[in-house]
Structure 1
């Protein structure tokens, strides 16, 4: 059966890094048993320029019918002055909402070959392997009421509401526990239960789920601000971190920089499974659109390539192929090839397209 992939390259460096992913997909189609059917559409600022919307209903329909969505990046200063509902980032939020992508998986892996690229000491980050599970469709980014209102004294007040229900917490915590069983069997749940009622509920629900279904998994709780400190102090103490939308946004970026560059970080966003055991999914690099380097062929495509590896693993159960692609990336790095963001003295600086070609060479 054909595996339907929707590619939304988006803005900035999105098209450049996605070009390298497409080359790898074509290689898999030619050399392996995979049969990927690619559809390419617009999302983000480029979609607004053509259609007046950051993502159209037509594209959303295709996304809902696809087996997986591959996203490049959206946004840039060109669209900063648009009203909020028209901003490129609304495409990303709509994809998450309509596809019901509640679990965001962000691995923070520091290949030993890149340990010197981190701002931390190599012995602190070398061979680091953390998985952050971020709740993606609730919390302060989606809660209501929200908005900006004028007060009677002439001031303005911005309002965002942080809310979570029991079921929202349970489903993302279950993802974290199940992932931990396949890794080092340890989950750290992060919130602010000392000052937030929603954080207190989060801790209680995670504790109850652990007691009822996952007693075999080691569980610890940590305040989110302490977690931010511990990620810098001793990141290898963590295996799987599960947290809410806001804290997950911050902690995953911090963990990402432990690896030396956001250009190395993939991510997966998953929905719940239907009765047939299938789920919706979207895969994207953690870096932004980086408009300052767009069109220069110097962006790092490895985060997007590793995001496709996550698609192979999670959406298509192609673990061996995912391992092969991951190892190809490691081999390229071991040979000393680097894009500008991870360049070190004595290494071979390569372009975006050259890096993609090198990965394919290793796959061969």
Structure 2
């Protein structure tokens, strides 16, 4: 079977981690008879340097023409890069927002999994993590504060800034249904997170999610205020299966969740819409301080590629093979610098990719 993948290496460590993900996909292709065809696309700072904008119309059209998009990372050092002297709509991260919106990707899926082999790297106490945890944050991706009207100007002699938080019932319903469908394939629990004690948008969110929940009587449904959820994630992460929430809350909560897994370098993500075309990327940044040094952890990108096989290509078996290979390499004691612990073997970016590839081959 042939699959067309738009590959966006991006900035910083992006090209290094993308190279390892492609290495794994090629091994999977050879083993299971698939042909992954890659088309490289410019986005982020590298696109600004070459084209003057973080994402060209041509690049977006190329991404739309493919079956899936695999992204490394975009951005640079805010304090050092000239990219951040540009207007916000011309900075590297604006390309990512434009890509998500252009592909109509409204659901961001971020698994938070603590591998048994990395329990020692988890900052939580052992009695809290127990046998580990495995939950997913389902974040609405194209609405809310990040996309509402905004302005900064002088009002009555004072510099004033306004950001507008807007959601309509259709936006809420479609992300809620996405969360419930995912829960049906997991432990059948959805916790909807909002700030309904303060925000009108959250009160509507709560109303619509309760309406949707009636169509999923087999799924346990609860509500939780976002400040409580932030505490509960570190108090008892095992209680969660699927966390459903709006754009900004999801951004913050999924980043919090990443830190209790041992390393942000371990976590993959998928951005999905109504079609099979999805965007797959690690949740970490471009890490310009270690770019080109063979220190980056490629596992999050490799696991993102596994999510691509599962969600866009319906290759569940092949995705599971990649996930098992990652676990086996960790069990054998191999670590990149971000997850290194005493008694383990330190390896670089490319060696970690080689080890995971060898597990798949053998």
The TM-score by the shorter chain falls in which range?
A: over 0.9
Aligned match of 1:252 in 251, 254, 258? 254
Select the residue among 191, 194, 209 that pairs with 1:191. 194
Moved more, 70-79 or 300-309: 70-79
Match of 1:26 in 2: 26
SS at 2:85 equivalent: coil
Structure 1 residue corresponding to 2:226, chosen from 221, 224, 227: 224
Match for residue 7 of structure 1? 7
Cα separation, 2, equivalents of 1:343 and 1:271: 36
Superposed CA deviations along residues 22-63 of structure 1, whole A, max 9, x for unmatched, are 111221222222111111121100000000010111110011
Residue in 2 aligned with 1:157?
160
Match of 2:178 among 175, 178, 182: 175
Of 294, 299, 302 in structure 2, the residue corresponding to residue 302 of structure 1 is 299
For 1:16 and 1:311, how far apart are their aligned partners in 2? 19
Aligned to 1:17: 17
Which secondary structure state, in structure 2, belongs to the residue aligned with residue 284 of structure 1? strand
* Aligned residue number for residue 238 of structure 2: 236
- Report which stretch shifted further, 177-186 or 32-41: 32-41
How many angstroms apart in 2 are the aligned matches of 1:39 and 1:178? 31
2:183·2:241 contact (CA, 8 Å) conserved in 1?
yes
Distance 1:2 1:322 in 2: 16
One of 96, 100, 103 as aligned partner of 2:104: 100
Name the CA distance, whole Å, in 2 between partners of 1:182 and 1:237.
17
Q: May I ask how many residue pairs the two structures share in their alignment? A: 356
In the alignment, what sits opposite 1:338?
A: 335
Tell me how far apart the structure 2 counterparts of residues 221 and 33 of structure 1 sit (CA, whole Å). 45
Aligned match for 1:85, one of 67, 89, 95: 89
Work out whether residues 41 and 63 of structure 2, in 8 Å CA contact, stay in contact via their aligned partners in 1: no
Residues 267-325 of structure 1, C-alpha deviation per residue, up to 9 Å, x if partnerless?
0000113xxxxx32100000000111111100000000000000011000100000000
**CA deviations over 1:124-167 (Å, ceiling 9, x no partner):** 334310011000000000012x12112231x2111110110000
Counterpart for residue 113 of structure 1? 117
Alpha-carbon separation, structure 2, partners of 1:161 and 1:280: 29
- Which whole-Å deviations, capped at 9, do the CAs of 1:83-124 have from their partners, x for residues lacking one? 111100011000110101000000000001001111112343
Secondary structure of the corresponding residue to residue 131 of structure 1: strand
Asked if structure 1 preserves the Cα contact closer than 8 Å seen for 2:41 and 2:62, the reply is: no
Q: TM-score, normalised by structure 2?
A: 0.97
CA distance in 2, matches of 1:55, 1:334: 40
Secondary structure, aligned partner of 2:268: coil
Aligned residue number for residue 270 of structure 1: 272
Distance 2:278 2:127 in 1: 35
- Matched with 1:127 is 132
Unaligned runs of 5+ in 1: 274-278
Shift of 1:75: 0.5
